[in-house]
């Protein structure tokens, strides 16, 4: 193998740049040429290529976002689109590809590997941490710290005004970010898609807290909680707003709602994310050199490992319910 490509795809996450840096510098260390592919799979289909050297990735380990830019592409979901992408790889002489992204990007990577017998390795990067076969994905730790920072600030003003705050975090299908940030941030209640809840229990807990002198409450809500709370997204009302309304109506407590939104995806990556990205990015290149294809890298008990993407995509990453119950007990 002489030349490899690297791209970032799907939702961005802090630490993607550190992963790109690790891929580029490991490849150069092993005397490979590296091509950066801009705009994810869309850029791959269009041949949006950028030759990279050591200095192309200088001064980026601490930057959020991705210097290669990310994108979503419907065309790549079609066989025609993927044929186009494969042709561009052939034309450019790229013999292996590292895809840094989430589970959607991995689905695309798996198809490219299977349909064209092309060496592709996936590096898990998503703040959702919902990719199986890895304890952590790149960006999760930074996003948790962002949420905690937000909670700390909200708590200050919540206390001053004796208010209840409903804080919506990202997580359409997975509650890992919400749960772990809620535990670390001392949220009074944590509502996530994986765990059914009764809004009356949440309200009882809230009333109980105020009765024993609490000055504020923070209720952390993942954006993808149960459909009972689905309201009209067209008028920009999220489930968090619906919950806020119910709480205010049923308790009379002054309640405010905050949607943290995309700020959770930004920021300088934490030390843990930079280290994870460096280790996983380097391993991806080593796997390509070893002739592997259709694999993802992951970290399990602090060991970097490789798994078939197909196997990984058929697993479901389970939430640790003990942590959910612990967060509840510690916030009583
Ligand atoms: P993420 O990687 O963050 O989960 P997406 O789900 O948006 O983000 O996926 C990123 C891109 O991966 C999509 O825009 C599409 O080009 C590609 N992709 C997703 N699912 C598939 C699929 N089933 N087959 C082929 N390509 C896919």
Q: Are residues 213 and 234 in the same domain?
A: yes
Give the residue, out of 104, 127, 265, with the most ligand 1 atoms within 8 A of its beta carbon, to mutate for a pocket test. 104
**Annotated binding-site residue? 149:** no
Confidence label for 235 from pLDDT (cuts 50, 70 and 90): very low
Q: Is residue 36 scored above 70 in pLDDT?
A: yes
**Annotated binding-site residue? 280:** no
82 backbone φψ class: left, alpha, beta (φ>0; ψ -120 to 50): alpha
Relative to the CA of 103, which ligand 1 atom is closest? 4
Tell me what pLDDT residue 232 has: 47
**Which residue CA neighbors atom 12 of ligand 1 most closely?**
105
**Which residue CA neighbors atom 27 of ligand 1 most closely?**
108
Order of strands across the sheet with 303-308? Answer: 49-52, 33-37, 3-8, 96-101, 120-124, 295-300, 303-308
Cβ atoms of residues 184 and 146 within 8 Å: no
Q: Do the domain assignments include residue 325?
A: no
**Which residue CA neighbors atom 6 of ligand 1 most closely?**
104
Q: Is residue 326 scored above 70 in pLDDT?
A: yes
Tell me what pLDDT residue 215 has: 82
Relative to the CA of 72, which ligand 1 atom is closest? 14
Q: Are residues 256 and 274 in the same domain?
A: no
Tell me what pLDDT residue 239 has: 87
ipTM: 0.99
Q: Are residues 133 and 147 in the same domain?
A: no
Tell me what pLDDT residue 216 has: 87
> Residue 8 Cα, ligand 1 centroid: separation in angstroms?
11
Confidence label for 42 from pLDDT (cuts 50, 70 and 90): very high
Q: What positions carry a catalytic annotation?
A: 128
- The pLDDT tens digits for 118-139 are 999 999 999 999 999 999 999 9
Q: Is the dihedral of CA 249, 251, 252, 256 positive or negative?
A: negative
**Which residue CA neighbors atom 16 of ligand 1 most closely?**
73
Confidence label for 233 from pLDDT (cuts 50, 70 and 90): very low
Q: Do the domain assignments include residue 78?
A: yes
Q: Are residues 168 and 87 in the same domain?
A: no
The total of structural domains in the chain comes to 2
Q: Which of 16, 12, 10, 98 is nearest to 269 (CA)?
A: 16
Tell me what pLDDT residue 227 has: 64
Q: Is residue 230 scored above 80 in pLDDT?
A: no
- The pLDDT tens digits for 250-262 are 999 999 999 999 9
**Which residue CA neighbors atom 8 of ligand 1 most closely?**
10
Confidence label for 236 from pLDDT (cuts 50, 70 and 90): low
> Residue 140 Cα, ligand 1 centroid: separation in angstroms?
19
**Annotated binding-site residue? 216:** yes
> Residue 119 Cα, ligand 1 centroid: separation in angstroms?
18
Q: Are residues 204 and 261 in the same domain?
A: yes
**Annotated binding-site residue? 172:** yes
Instruction: For the chain, give the mean pLDDT.
Output: 95
- How many CB atoms lie under 10 A from the CB of residue 276? 29
CA angle 126–188–180, rounded 5-degree value: 25
Q: Are residues 107 and 224 in the same domain?
A: no
> Residue 77 Cα, ligand 1 centroid: separation in angstroms?
7
Q: Are residues 127 and 195 in the same domain?
A: no
- Name residues contacting ligand 1 (CB within 6 A): 9-11, 41, 72-73, 76-77, 101-105, 107-108, 111, 126
Range of the domain at 18: 3-139+269-314
Give the CATH number for residue 121.
Answer: 3.40.50.450
Give the CATH number for residue 249.
Answer: 3.40.50.460
- The pLDDT tens digits for 280-316 are 999 999 999 999 999 999 999 999 999 999 999 999 9
Q: Do the domain assignments include residue 326?
A: no
Q: Is residue 244 scored above 90 in pLDDT?
A: yes
Cβ atoms of residues 165 and 258 within 8 Å: yes
**Annotated binding-site residue? 185:** no
- How many CB atoms lie under 10 A from the CB of residue 320? 11
Q: Are residues 148 and 273 in the same domain?
A: no
């Amino acid at each position: 193998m002489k030349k490899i490509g690297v791209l970032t795809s799907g939702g961005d996450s802090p630490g993607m740049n550190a992963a790109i840096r690790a891929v580029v510098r490991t490849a150069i260390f092993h005397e490979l040429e590296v091509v950066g592919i801009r705009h994810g799979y869309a850029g791959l289909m269009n041949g949006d290529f950028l030759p990279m050297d050591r200095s192309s990735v200088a001064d980026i380990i601490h930057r959020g976002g991705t210097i290669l830019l990310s994108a979503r592409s419907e065309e790549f979901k079609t066989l025609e689109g993927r044929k186009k992408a494969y042709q561009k790889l052939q034309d450019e002489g790229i013999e292996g590809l590292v895809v840094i992204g989430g589970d959607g990007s991995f689905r695309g990577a798996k198809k490219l590997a299977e349909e064209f017998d092309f060496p592709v390795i996936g590096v898990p990067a998503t703040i959702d941490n919902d990719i199986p076969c890895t304890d952590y994905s790149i960006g999760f730790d930074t996003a948790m710290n962002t949420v905690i920072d937000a909670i700390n600030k909200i708590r200050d003003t919540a206390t001053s005004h004796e208010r209840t705050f409903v804080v919506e975090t990202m997580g359409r299908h997975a509650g890992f970010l919400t749960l772990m940030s809620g535990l670390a941030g001392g949220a009074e209640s944590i509502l996530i898609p994986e765990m059914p809840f009764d809004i009356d229990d949440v309200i009882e807990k809230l009333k109980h807290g105020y009765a024993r002198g609490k000055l504020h409450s923070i209720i952390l809500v993942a954006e993808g909680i149960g459909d009972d709370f689905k309201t009209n997204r067209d008028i920009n009302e999220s489930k968090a707003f619906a919950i806020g309304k119910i709480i205010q109506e049923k308790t009379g407590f002054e309640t405010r709602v905050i949607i943290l939104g995309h700020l959770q995806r930004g920021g300088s990556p934490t030390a843990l994310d930079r280290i994870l990205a460096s280790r996983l990015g380097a391993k991806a290149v080593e796997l390509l050199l070893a002739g592997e294809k259709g694999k993802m890298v992951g970290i399990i008990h602090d060991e970097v490992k490789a798994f078939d993407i197909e196997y990984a995509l058929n697993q479901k990453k389970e939430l640790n319910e003990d942590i959910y119950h612990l967060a509840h007990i510690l916030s009583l």
